Amino acid sequence: MKKTMIGNHAASWGAQLSRVQVIAAYPITPQTLIVEKLSEIVADGELDAKFIKVESEHSAMSACIGASATGARAYTATSAQGLALMHEMLHWAALARLPIVMTNVNRAMAPGWSIWADQNDSLSQRDTGMMHIFASSSQDILDSTIISYKVSEQVLLPTLISFDAFFLSHTMEVVDMPPITDVDKFLPPYNPEYKLDVNNPRSFGALTSEEHYYEFRYKMQNAMDDAVGLIKKEGREFEKLTGRYYDLVHSYKCEDADLIFVTSGTIAETTNVAVDELRKDGKKVGNLKIRVIRPYPKQDILKAVKNCSKIAVIDRNISCGYHGIFAQELKGALYNESDIPVWGYLAGIGGRDVKVDDIKEIADETFKSKKPVDMIMKGVKI
């Protein structure tokens, strides 16, 4: 059934269709509409779940961890400062191997107070051990929520689904909601082998010496490796139900491109439009959207860019003191494998709009440039 809805509500309905059993959340702009809608959904009896209205985001993730440890399906959502406050418990969820799925509406970190789109909040959680998706449409948000539970519950790692504040969170799009009976066929109830069970008492997360801790990390790394294949496999299963396929990267007209943009989030959608316009002008460009950054789809990226002669990465984030984070990651992937030069661009920081013309300008600049540059801060007023 097709419905018009904002990106935030796509997240709410994604949680409803996934039949989450425990929700714990705290308000923060621009996320709040997700949990407001979920409160209504639960109150109206459209979802049989416990909703714990906690006193902080740190407690939101903690409550989800407790619930997930009993074998319940748990969900939360937040933004920026809230995600930063959760940080400790994101590590906890991942190391405790709990398949919690959460939404983060990408918002710039304060100060100065900003509620606008920026990826620094969720990229600061890169090394927590969570799988991390950047959705680029409302449909992607809803579908990713469902698929992520399926993947998370197999590899026993949590998933963070991020998307841009306002450009997606508050923008109406048409979303196709699959019937819940179809989702039920795809996503069975969560039934973990190990959980808090009074008939089989175990201790979880006890004091761990150097004899064992390293092996926990080894197993997490293996789980991440397995997730690469599982995201594709479950993506294909989901496609059978809905006709929509989600991969770790999505390549748009990259096959014969001289220049490939590497993008994420809503900038990726704008870039697809720019690619079409540039192609009309005879410029052979393509766009590689990175949808999943953890696990990092290195092989998929290498395959997608192998024929091009230049790469331009557009980052809506910055690791101050180095440069854009997607650019860093990409260069790491190419090293030892390829000698394609990489130009790093920053754009859209703090919610500044990135238009089709901006991307066309990046294309021109990169075509003209002889020597790759680590970071070009597009549009910065100095």
Interface contacts to another protein, rule CB under 8 A: 21-22, 24, 48-50, 52-56, 58-59, 62-72, 74, 88-89, 92, 196-198, 200-209, 212
CB of 69 to another protein, least distance (A): 5
Contact 350, 114 (CB under 8 A): yes
For residue 15, CA distances in Å to 42, 93, 115, 146, 189 come to 11, 18, 24, 7, 13
CB nearer to another protein: give 52 or 115.
52
List, as one string, the DSSP characters of 181-197. Answer: HHHHHHSPPP--SS---
**Cα 96 → chain centroid:** 20
Q: What is the largest CA-CA distance in the chain?
A: 69
- Give the integer Cα–Cα distance in Å for 346 and 169: 22
CB of 130 to another protein, least distance (A): 16
If you count them, how many residues does the chain have?
382
CB nearer to another protein: give 128 or 251.
128
For residue 301, CA distances in Å to 258, 293, 313 come to 15, 11, 12
Structural element, H or E, at residue 250: strand 249-252
If one counts every other C-beta atom within 10 angstroms of the C-beta of residue 152, the result is 25
CB nearer to another protein: give 92 or 116.
92
CB of 184 to another protein, least distance (A): 17
- Give the integer Cα–Cα distance in Å for 232 and 236: 6
At residue 106's C-alpha, the angle toward residues 217 and 270, to 5°, is 115
CB of 200 to another protein, least distance (A): 8
Amino acid identity, position 185:
K
186: its two tokens: 């795809």
CB nearer to another protein: give 89 or 115.
89
CB nearer to another protein: give 44 or 210.
210
CB of 157 to another protein, least distance (A): 18
CB of 61 to another protein, least distance (A): 9
CB of 212 to another protein, least distance (A): 6
Q: Which residues, in sequence order, are bridge partners of residue 2?
A: 176
Amino acid identity, position 352:
R
CB of 298 to another protein, least distance (A): 32
